Amino acid sequence: MKIAWHGHSVVTIETDNGKRILIDPFITGNNLCDLDAETVPADVILLTHAHEDHVGDTEAIAKRTGALVVANVELAGYLEKKGLTTHGMQMGGQHEFDFGKVKMTPAIHGSALEINGLPFTLGLAAGFLLTIDGKVIYHAGDTALFSDMKLIGAGAPIDMAFLPIGDNFTMGPEDAATAAEYLQAACVVPIHYNTFPIIEQDPEKFCEKLTVSKGIVPEPGQSIQV
């Protein structure tokens, strides 16, 4: 399995059987992103919630590649009407796909999308707990800290957690460090920072706060060892 972060909450995973997974593909307008929305490969796109900085280039990428879009039922229903192939889930539910297992986990955050100039809420924000090639990967999406994070890694130890640290819209570094403790994640990669001035953070300083987890600050596009 190959895994990489691409600025903001964008994460790509290439499985051992060659499946390309794209999480929250906010590429256009993401200055930290090393990917090209017109060429990025995708067999499946996972969306944590409906905000623009997460749905991003989903429609164009899915139409070009035919990728399956996995999202909450309301967002999936909307994207299905736009002509995409989708799989709707809800929090607490899990499903075995041909690339691995996906569990939709809770998040504390909004999930609105601008449609014809007006914001519409499409379901609830979520995170993903993925079991792929024998590894457990948690992508928190956008969320506040919540103590039930202690339950997310309880079933199987988390090998790698992607946690937002930008503050203002999500957890800041202090709360994200507490989240890492609750999750008991072996490795933590900070996400959702430095994309915009309001979420500027020092990821190395965040890593110094980690107790049980090893912090990793990859360059956008750099392959991360799980």
d(CA 184, CA 123): 28
**Applying CB under 5 A, does 43 fall inside the site for Mn ion?**
no
- Residue (of 162, 149, 223) closest to 189 by Cα position: 162
By beta-carbon proximity to Mn ion, the closer residue of 86 and 143 is: 143
User: Residue 82 is encoded by which pair of tokens?
Assistant: 């736009």
Identity of the residue, 43 or 53, whose beta carbon is nearer to Mn ion in the bound complex:
53
Rounded to the nearest whole angstrom, what is the least distance from the CB of residue 17 to Mn ion in the complex? 30
Q: Which does 24 bind (CB under 5 to 8 A by kind): Ni ion, Mn ion, none?
A: none
Instruction: Give strand pairing partners of 96.
Output: 101
Residue 159, token pair as written in the block:
């090998």
Interface region with Mn ion, contact rule CB under 5 A, candidates 28-36, 51-59, 117-125, 217-225? 51-59
Q: Is 74 in the site for Mn ion (CB under 5 A)?
A: no
Token readout for 15 is: 């499985």
Give dist(CA 102, CA 189) in Å, integer.
19
Residue with token string 């930008």: 166
Q: How far is the CB of 115 from Mn ion (least distance, A)?
A: 18
Interface with Ni ion (CB under 5 A): 51, 142
Measure CA 112 to chain center. Answer: 16
Provide the 10 A C-beta neighbour count for residue 63.
13
Q: How far is the CB of 175 from Mn ion (least distance, A)?
A: 15
CA–CA dist 219, 7 (Å, integer): 8
Q: How many CB atoms lie within 10 A of CB 50?
A: 26
Residue 53 makes contact with Mn ion by CB under 5 A: yes
Q: Which is nearer to Ni ion, 1 or 104 (CB)?
A: 104
Least distance in Å: CB of 23 to Ni ion?
13
Q: Shortest distance, CB of residue 116 to Ni ion, whole angstroms?
A: 20
**Using the rule CB under 5 A, is 167 a contact of Mn ion?**
no
The option from Mn ion, Ni ion, none interacting with 139 (CB < 5 to 8 A, set by class) reads: none
Between 71 and 132, whose beta carbon lies closer to Mn ion? Answer: 71
